[in-house]
Structure 1
Amino acid sequence: MLVITNRKINKSNFINGVGDHNAFGDEPNVKGPNETRIAHAEKVNGKWQVRLMSEPSKITANNIPSRKAFNELRDKLRHSGKNCVFFVHGFNQSFEKNLEKAYKMQQVHNVEVVAFSWPSNPGGFKTKEYRVAKRNAVASVGALDATLEKFGSYLKEPFNKEALESCNVKISFMTYSLGNYLFQNYVNNASYEEETRIFHNVILCQADVDNAGHAHWVDQIESGKKVYITINENDWVLKWSDVNFQKDRLGRSAKHLNASNALYFDFTDGPGVGKTHGVFYQPTNDVVKSFFTRVLNGERGEFTQGLVFDSRMNAFRFE
């Protein structure tokens, strides 16, 4: 998988350009959160090999590492026939945890993942660290913006008949947990210029953002097809966030579901769902798995068998 990160590199971890699961740390790049590196991560015999594909680069309109990496990804997708997911992780994720979640997504849903890895693990699952992670999320908006801008432009090249005829790949975008706070700040930022239109689906998975007023920014999201929002009212991680910090979390509240731009999916009380936060990769039931397989592959989640639309809630629920 490709990994784009504004985390601090652990240079001593690399030998001849190859590191492991400790290749990047839990702090922002020392030269600022807009400086990124790009790497190729592969699991070999149960261990991560992280191959550095670029030196640090301050992202500008004409400069993001590396065009070659994105071209290779585009060609790989074209030949494998797999669909692709651009994945923004949540709070308390080390570099290794991010790799493992992305890898699990690839295995469970048969997709290729591009991981945007930001410094969300400043010391543990505590209130002080959570606040630091939120500041790091806001500081990472510029890196995400320029990454998506260049990601889109590189995938569109070359623009000719042969390329168009061979391009059957669907690319979707998923933000998970506190990654949605990063995305919310991006959408609300003047730098957002519909870069997400390149994605078939946009999935806001178990969003650790305020439910109140969420329609104001969700309705600004551009996608090629659909915007999906998932909910579990018993989500234990979002319950912790509720209790310690703020208002009802979007991913844990089945009320005021009023964004005209989104479809809501409430998995609360579904078989095996329980208090699960990681609904896209942890085993719950076949309906939830089928939903994520569909939307991550650019298909319509509302056609998932076993779910019906509840007009009173404005959400799809279990039959």
Structure 2
Amino acid sequence: MLVATNRNVVSSNFNNNIGDENGFGEEVNKKGPTELRFANVKRLARKWRVELVPEPKNLNQDNLPSQLQFAHLAKKCVTNKRNCVFYIHGYNKPFVETLEQAYLIEQRYNVEVLLFSWPSNTGGFPLFEYRQARRVAQTSFGALDALLEKYARALQEWLTPEDSAALMACDSTTNLLAHSLGNYLLEHYVLSQAYQAETRLFTNVVLSQADVNSINHIKWLDKIVVGQRTYATINENDKILGWSETQNPPRLGKTLANLEGKTAQYYDFTRGKGVGKKHQLWGDVQNVDVARFFTAVLNGKRGDDVSGFTFDPKFNAYRM
């Protein structure tokens, strides 16, 4: 699995660029929040092997680490006949937990995952930590911008004509899954001057249990340029977002109010069997229709082709 991160590198954890799940810390990169490092990770029993991608001393267009890694990822999608998911995690996630989440997505939905891991577990009193994580998210959108630009350039310039043809022939799609506070990071990116519709490379964009304001969310949601479709998920009983609402206005992922987006489809899972107060719908809920929905949208398919949902015009949402 390929990881891109703006976390600080814990150099003492690496020996000849090989380390484990403690190789990245809970601060931004010492060069700044827009600095990206890449690593290839592999699960070994209950631990992780983390191989830091080395950076040449003299960078040029022929040895950019990101371009080589992205070209390799695209070839994996072709070889394994899989789609690709860019995953942006949420709040209070140490590096190892972001790896576990990304691995779960790979295994459950049969996709290749590119994980964008940002330092969301700053430590301290929960309320202070949450506010600090929001500040880190606000400053991390530049790293996400760089990641998407590098990825698009790699597909255009680094794949051989044969590889490009193979990628097109196997109908491989690339989709974005932003979860919880990861949507707050995405929001600040979309509203920034840096955003130049880089999200158009995604077939689907999935805003999972978004920890963002419901009121006026269309000001940024409708700005998202996407290849096909944008989805936003809702659970009115979401326990994690319930805690967030003690600090914030109603959250997009927890209310059926203000669902006014012109470019997105809203999916309400509240009444689904086994959903309860769950926050991580794609990981924690054992429900066939929930699994089918995420299998579809994370593989570039249509959510409205999945059974178990009925469109409710009163709320402008598909509801279980």
Provide the residue aligned with 1:220 in structure 2.
Answer: 223
**Mapped partners of 2:193, 2:72: distance in 1:** 31
Output one character per residue of 1:190-209: Cα deviation in whole Å (capped at 9) or x when no partner.
Answer: 11001000000000000000
Identity of counterpart residues, as a percentage?
46
**Mapped partners of 2:8, 2:243: distance in 1:** 28
1:207/1:250 contact within 8 Å kept: yes
Query: What value does the CA root-mean-square deviation take over the aligned residues?
Result: 2.1
The alpha carbon displacement at 1:307 in A equals: 1.0
Q: Match for 1:192 among 187, 192, 195?
A: 195
**Mapped partners of 1:5, 1:56: distance in 2:** 18
Provide the residue aligned with 1:99 in structure 2.
Answer: 99
Provide the residue aligned with 1:256 in structure 2.
Answer: 258
The total of aligned residue pairs comes to 316
Seen in structure 2, the aligned counterparts of structure 1 residues 127 and 56 have a Cα distance that, compared at 3 Å, is: farther
The alpha carbon displacement at 1:166 in A equals: 4.1
The alpha carbon displacement at 1:170 in A equals: 0.7
**Mapped partners of 1:270, 1:204: distance in 2:** 18
The alpha carbon displacement at 1:269 in A equals: 2.2
1:4/1:117 contact within 8 Å kept: yes
Provide the residue aligned with 2:186 in structure 1.
Answer: 183
The alpha carbon displacement at 1:159 in A equals: 7.0
Structure 2: runs of 5 or more not aligned: none
Output one character per residue of 1:149-189: Cα deviation in whole Å (capped at 9) or x when no partner.
Answer: 11112123447476235422111001100000000000000
2:84/2:113 contact within 8 Å kept: yes
The 5 Å alignment of 1:107-146 reads: 107-123=107-123, 126-146=126-146
1:54/1:66 contact within 8 Å kept: no
SS of structure 2 residue aligned to 1:256: coil
The 5 Å alignment of 1:224-243 reads: 224-243=227-246
2:66/2:150 contact within 8 Å kept: no
Q: Which amino acid aligns with 1:80?
A: N
Q: Which amino acid aligns with 2:290?
A: V
Q: Which amino acid aligns with 1:201?
A: N
Provide the residue aligned with 1:164 in structure 2.
Answer: 165
2:268/2:317 contact within 8 Å kept: yes
The 5 Å alignment of 1:8-23 reads: 8-23=8-23
The 5 Å alignment of 1:284-299 reads: 284-299=286-301
1:37/1:56 contact within 8 Å kept: no
The alpha carbon displacement at 1:223 in A equals: 0.6
1:64/1:147 contact within 8 Å kept: no
**Higher alpha-carbon deviation: 118-127 or 275-284:** 118-127
1:64/1:146 contact within 8 Å kept: no
Q: Which amino acid aligns with 1:246?
A: N
Provide the residue aligned with 2:53 in structure 1.
Answer: 53
Provide the residue aligned with 2:40 in structure 1.
Answer: 40
2:94/2:121 contact within 8 Å kept: yes
2:289/2:306 contact within 8 Å kept: yes
Q: Which amino acid aligns with 1:163?
A: S
SS of structure 2 residue aligned to 1:99: helix
Structure 1: runs of 5 or more not aligned: none
Q: Which amino acid aligns with 1:52?
A: L
Q: Which amino acid aligns with 1:182?
A: L
1:7/1:118 contact within 8 Å kept: yes
Q: Which amino acid aligns with 1:185?
A: H
1:105/1:281 contact within 8 Å kept: yes
The alpha carbon displacement at 1:284 in A equals: 3.0
**Mapped partners of 2:163, 2:22: distance in 1:** 41
The alpha carbon displacement at 1:110 in A equals: 0.7
